Amino acid sequence: MFDNVCKFLAESFSTDFATWLLNEPITLTELSPSELSLEPIRADALILLQSDEIVLHLEFQTKPKVEIPFRMCDYRLRVYRKFPRKQMRQFVIYLQPSDSELVYQTEFVLENSWHRFNVIRLWEQPTEIFFNSPGLLPFATLSQTDDQGRTLEQVAEAIQAINDTRIRSNVAASTAVLSGLVLNKDVIKKILRSDIMRESVIYQDILQQGLKEGFEQGIEQGIEQGLEQKAQEIAIKMISKGISPEIIIDVTGLTVEQLQKLQAQQDNTQTQ
């Protein structure tokens, strides 16, 4: 879910991200990895945005990964192959604090090959940066703040001031999800009004995912219950034929307790 939210924000508020990372309010459009003629490398949240002159490559990470430097170099070459005249700026954005040396790696080196990219550790970024644009507000609680709860309250106030209902709803829902990396869900629910989020695509995505998981879980439970019921029916038939408990347990997979309960039920039925 964190991946989807970051991707949604970067694509929906690309000008906000360009202003933050490139220092220019450039209008960017999505660049699909499929346009690079090669299969995309699996990434947590790979985002490629482009203008006529530049490609912005973003990767959001919740945890450091050793393959990141190679991935950045690989995508730089892919973009060069497709757009040799375009500049490219690359940023790996780490969401959660980490002591790993990997979050400080900014280059890929292989024999005579050398490639550099940018790394942003959100927990080191000044909080005020993220109050400059609606699309950046959801990241504020992950920034360099001594009081994440208070920061979330300030974000909530800023969200309330957004006039566009759709933007307000999407930013609120995105904030709720990303704040979950550093704050208890009860704190988030207390500060952010759920009614504001209901119309957002992020909220609907969460809802649909929950319904899907619930549906799949229901199917799984139904299968398990059906299998258990069938095993009990087989066990009852075997009990009636006088087959030993050890064999019944081995064939049906029932526990000793379950078999004893079935035997007791059979004995009660026969005595009635």
Lowest mean pLDDT among 21-30, 121-130, 205-214, 244-253: 205-214
Percent residues over pLDDT 90 in the chain:
45
CB 90 within 8 A of CB 31: no
Condensed to tens digits (0 to 9), the pLDDT of residues 109-120 reads: 998 899 999 999
The alpha carbon of residue 131 and the mean position of all alpha carbons in its chain are separated, in whole angstroms, by 23
Condensed to tens digits (0 to 9), the pLDDT of residues 250-261 reads: 878 888 888 888
Lowest mean pLDDT among 41-55, 83-97, 140-154, 155-169: 41-55
The residue among 2, 177, 15 whose CA lies nearest residue 155 is 177
CB 151 within 8 A of CB 138: no
DSSP, res 41: P
Percent residues over pLDDT 70 in the chain:
83
pTM listed for this prediction: 0.71
Condensed to tens digits (0 to 9), the pLDDT of residues 195-225 reads: 666 655 555 565 555 444 444 454 445 546 6
| Composition of the chain by helix, strand, coil, percent to 5 | 60, 15, 25
CA-to-CA separations, 240 to 123, 236, 255, 267, 270, in angstroms, rounded: 68, 6, 18, 10, 11
CA geometry: angle 70, 71, 74, nearest 5 deg: 85
DSSP, res 207: H
User: Does residue 96 carry a pLDDT above 80?
Assistant: yes
Average pLDDT over residues 171-190: 87
Q: What is the residue-averaged pLDDT of the chain?
A: 83
The residue among 71, 84, 67, 60 whose CA lies nearest residue 33 is 71
117-135: burial string, b at 16+ Cβ within 10 Å, e else = bebbbbbebebeebbeebb
Which burial class, exposed, middle or buried, applies to 97 when counting CB atoms under 10 A from its CB (0-12, 13-18, 19+)? middle
